[in-house]
Amino acid sequence: MIWSGSRNSPRKEIDVLVRPTHLQTLVDGLVETNDWEISENYGQTTRNETHVRDAWLKATFLDPQFEYIRLWPEELYHLFVGCHKIEVSDVYVRDSVLLEEEYHRDPCRRFGPPLLRYFEERNLRLLLPIQARAKIMRRDIPIFIPTIEDHLNALLDQRREQIRTNLDNGGAPEWQVRNFIRCLFLDWKPARNWILSTKVKERNRELMAERIDKYRRKPLLKPVRTMAEIKVLSYMPWERPIMPESQYLAGGGWESTDIQN
């Protein structure tokens, strides 16, 4: 999600979507390298209670960038390997960046996740040094992530399945959907209307609308000094005054110049 503008780096694992017929072959191949071993889920919150088998692998080499790899079969993630996807440079970057610019909904650029050109124009490095990445995978293997549209609908499908069956799939779709709402500012009414009408599948619209309406963003706080006292103003990001884009970019794109409650 860090390539989709969401400021949440992976905790200890990376997720890899696989076809179910390839699952065992991939597990056997990774174990044979002696760099990975089969592992049980590393926490109670990641327990897969469904009938669909997945696989956890734990790194056995020193200082891995990720301690675990989780192989998700398509049926369990509610997403197909042949979905719409985007090629990215690496599985991990120094900061979040939004590749799909259409999800940056404020035309005045008062708020929203940083776009790729923000880093490119300032020669800011997104990728880790090659030495830090070399152990996780071969560099000649392309890396793809699903588009935000396909990823979001998969998460909503997962959550609907959890509600229907009362079984955990080992993921955190509720939290990830909430993170999309927070980081893409989908609680802003124009963004809410756009995402529901153009990106969210009909089967998921009711659930997504409920999650957006339930979300409560913390307001920004700005101290204002007067002759007599210092007051603190409270407002939402979309209530910011419109300013030149260069001034917005200088602030880093996010709510960097204000205090978040």
Residue type at position 18: V
Same-domain check for residues 144 and 41: yes
Provide the residue count of the chain. Answer: 261
Whether 150 is in a domain gets the answer yes
Same-domain check for residues 111 and 172: yes
Does residue 123 have a pLDDT over 60?
Answer: yes
Same-domain check for residues 62 and 133: yes
Provide the domain limits for residue 21: 13-214
Residue 42 in contact with residue 36, Cβ under 8 Å?
no
Nearest to 122 by CA among 154, 95, 82, 143: 95
Same-domain check for residues 150 and 242: no
pLDDT on residue 257: 37
pLDDT in tens, 179-229: 999 999 999 999 999 999 999 999 999 999 999 999 999 999 888 888 788
The alpha carbon dihedral of 9, 14, 16, 17 has a sign of negative
pLDDT in tens, 30-67: 999 999 999 876 655 568 899 999 999 999 988 777 78
Same-domain check for residues 62 and 161: yes
Nearest to 48 by CA among 21, 12, 77: 77
Whether 154 is in a domain gets the answer yes
Same-domain check for residues 45 and 95: yes
Same-domain check for residues 249 and 234: yes
Number of domains in the chain: 2
pLDDT on residue 233: 86
Range list of H helices, 184-229? 189-198, 202-214
Does residue 27 have a pLDDT over 80?
Answer: yes
Residue 147 in contact with residue 84, Cβ under 8 Å?
yes
Whether 8 is in a domain gets the answer no
Same-domain check for residues 180 and 237: no
Same-domain check for residues 54 and 79: yes
C-alpha angle 112-114-115 in degrees, rounded to nearest 5: 110
Same-domain check for residues 132 and 37: yes
Whether 175 is in a domain gets the answer yes
CA dihedral 48, 136, 143, 89 (to 10 degrees): 130
Whether 56 is in a domain gets the answer yes
Does residue 28 have a pLDDT over 90?
Answer: yes
Range list of H helices, 122-188? 130-133, 148-165, 173-183
pLDDT in tens, 152-170: 999 999 999 999 999 999 8
pLDDT in tens, 101-113: 999 999 888 888 8
Whether 143 is in a domain gets the answer yes
Whether 5 is in a domain gets the answer no
Whether 225 is in a domain gets the answer yes
pLDDT in tens, 124-146: 777 665 544 544 555 667 889 99
Q: Whole-prediction pTM value?
A: 0.85
Same-domain check for residues 224 and 205: no
Nearest to 202 by CA among 162, 157, 151: 157
Same-domain check for residues 162 and 231: no
pLDDT on residue 187: 96
Task: List residues bridging with 69 in a β-sheet.
Answer: 14, 57
Residue 129 in contact with residue 57, Cβ under 8 Å?
no
pLDDT in tens, 65-120: 778 889 999 999 999 999 999 998 877 777 788 889 999 999 888 888 888 888 77
Nearest to 69 by CA among 121, 101, 129, 23: 23
User: Which contiguous run of DSSP H or E holds residue 250?
Assistant: helix 245-250
Q: At 210, list the tokens.
A: 């409920």
